[in-house]
Amino acid sequence: MVAITAQLMMQVAMLTTGGSPYQEAYRQAERQGKPFLVLVGAAWCPGCQTMKNKNLPELNREGGLKQVVYTLVDSDEKPTLAGELLRGKSIPQLVLYTPTSHGKERRWRRAQLTGVHDAAAIKAFLKKAIAGESVVAQGGG
């Protein structure tokens, strides 16, 4: 049921975003069959800026984002899309959709990491979520 809900959510989000970086990243993830990682945050949020400008770039330099397609969604610029992606109102949230197959149909399994996390914690989250372990984690953000 979660996989079906996640797929419907992503389709609704696609319809509401036009030609956004989110939509382009989603299409790339679909084409490549890769997990789709979205950081939902805001410019005014210090924790979001730490994740965006420090922790995720650090993980990227270490090669930790090679296995995913990554994009950002500003909750103030795209409130409808952010509302579809978020669980609860806390930001920053890292939302990971991992593709799964159900017959010929592709579905997406959802996992999230809420709050500020260092590169090592994000790497561990990605590893567990991509492996199919259930992950919904809160941080200190």
State how far the alpha carbon of 105 is from the alpha carbons of 33, 77, 80, 89, 109, in Å: 12, 32, 26, 31, 13
**Residue 13, pLDDT score:** 42
| Domains held by the chain: number | 1
Classify residue 53 by burial, with Cβ atoms within 10 Å: 0-12, 13-18, 19+.
exposed
* CATH number of 103's domain: 3.40.30.10
The closest alpha carbon to 78, from 136, 28, 38, belongs to 38
Residue 15 lies in domain: 2-138
> How distant is the alpha carbon of residue 18 from its chain centre?
18
Enter the pTM of the model. 0.79
Instruction: Render each residue's pLDDT in the chain as its tens digit; 141 residues.
Output: 454 444 444 443 433 333 469 999 999 999 998 999 999 999 999 999 999 999 999 999 999 999 999 999 999 999 999 999 999 999 999 999 998 866 667 788 999 999 999 999 999 999 998 887 665 555 654
* Token output for 126: 């990605």
